[in-house]
């Protein structure tokens, strides 16, 4: 396969950046998208040029490091992560526009790499349980209905990749934050700090400069872990309730 790539190149956070066109001539359909970029980078380095910087780690769809907006779609045209997107999903001769996540809260560091530490700060603001629970309790000492446990696990699947922010028309982080708020808020251990948690995390989310939700669910459609926008409704409810009930 031969592809034309229009890749976002940016030297540093203060550089304004630009698209640069490259030809990828030796693409095998079974390569992952990142392997394709590895090959392009090999060619670039052989020509003495700077390779394209992009984020990656596990390359098996579980760490949330990889990003990339491909032809306007976060993580490319298929549902999974970019590392789990394969070149067979594209056609020979196609032109691909490859960009970083674009959000004020995710400043581009270099080329396709952006700084997602805003998510870490949101988690630090309240995405934890601080009660000292001592040793592990007996298996059945703390009954949790199966549906609740399942739902908490669904929320906990979020890998913090940021595709929801990238896909949202307003660069809103509501899906990520709602997943983090909900996986703790659903479980008994998360109850004591439930109202304080949602207030602190939403407040940090707003401080980071993410947009507001316009209820369009592009986040849900782009999320590689299929996090449901039901969690956003849940968080809205929790937050509004917390706003009138917390005594702190």
Phi, psi of 244, deg, nearest 5: -105, -5
Instruction: State the minimum distance, in angstroms, from the CB of residue 85 to ligand FES.
Output: 9
| Cβ-based nearer residue to ligand SF4, 199 or 225 | 225
Q: What residue ranges in the chain does DSSP mark as E strands?
A: 3-9, 18-24, 69-70, 73-74, 95-99, 108-110, 113-114
109, interface contact from ligand FES, other proteins, ligand HEM, none, CB < 5-8 Å by kind = none
What secondary structure letter does DSSP report for 218? Answer: H
Residue 202: CB partners within 8 Å, gap ≥ 6? Answer: 177, 181, 235, 239
Q: Which of 82, 55, 51, 84 is nearest to 69 (CA)?
A: 82
Instruction: State the minimum distance, in angstroms, from the CB of residue 239 to ligand SF4.
Output: 17
Whole-number Cα distances in Å, 163 to 30, 125, 166, 227: 24, 21, 5, 11
65, interface contact from other proteins, ligand SF4, ligand FES, none, CB < 5-8 Å by kind = ligand FES
According to the binding rule CB under 6 A, does residue 243 interact with ligand HEM? no
Specify burial of residue 163 (Cβ count, 10 A radius: 0-12, 13-18, 19+).
buried
Among 56, 110, 183, 194, binds ligand FES (CB under 6 A): 56
What secondary structure letter does DSSP report for 138? Answer: P
According to the binding rule CB under 8 A, does residue 122 interact with other proteins? no
| Cβ-based nearer residue to ligand SF4, 22 or 61 | 61
| Cβ-based nearer residue to other proteins, 42 or 77 | 77
Of 35-43, 56-64, 135-143, 196-204, which segment contacts other proteins by CB under 8 A?
Answer: 196-204
According to the binding rule CB under 6 A, does residue 174 interact with ligand SF4? no
Q: Which residues bind other proteins (CB under 8 A)?
A: 6, 8, 17, 19, 69, 71-74, 97, 99, 102-105, 167, 169-172, 199, 202-203, 205-206, 209-218, 221-222, 229-230, 232-240, 243-248
Q: Which residues bind ligand FES (CB under 6 A)?
A: 56-59, 61-66, 81-83
């Amino acid at each position: 396969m031969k592809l034309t790539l229009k890749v976002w190149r940016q030297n540093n956070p203060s550089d304004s950046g630009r698209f640069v066109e490259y030809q990828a001539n030796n693409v095998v359909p079974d390569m992952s998208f990142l392997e394709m970029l590895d090959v392009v980078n090999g060619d670039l380095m052989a020509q003495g040029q700077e390779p394209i910087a992009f984020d990656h780690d596990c390359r098996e769809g579980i760490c949330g490091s990889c990003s990339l907006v491909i032809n306007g779609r976060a993580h490319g045209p298929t549902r999974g992560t970019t590392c789990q997107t394969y070149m067979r999903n594209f056609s020979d001769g196609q032109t691909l526009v490859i960009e970083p996540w674009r959000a004020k809260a995710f400043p581009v560091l270099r080329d396709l790499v952006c700084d997602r530490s805003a998510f870490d700060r949101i988690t630090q603001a309240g995405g934890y349980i601080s009660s000292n629970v001592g040793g592990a309790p007996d298996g059945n000492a703390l009954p949790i209905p199966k549906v609740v446990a399942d739902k908490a696990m669904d929320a906990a699947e979020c890998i913090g990749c940021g595709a929801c922010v990238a896909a949202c028309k307003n660069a809103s982080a509501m899906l990520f934050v709602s997943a983090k708020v909900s996986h703790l808020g659903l479980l008994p251990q998360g109850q004591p700090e439930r109202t304080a948690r949602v207030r602190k995390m939403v407040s940090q989310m707003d401080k980071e400069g993410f947009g507001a939700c316009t209820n369009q669910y592009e986040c849900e459609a782009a999320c590689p872990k299929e996090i449901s926008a039901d969690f956003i409704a849940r968080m809205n409810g929790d937050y509004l309730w917390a706003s009138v009930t917390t005594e702190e």
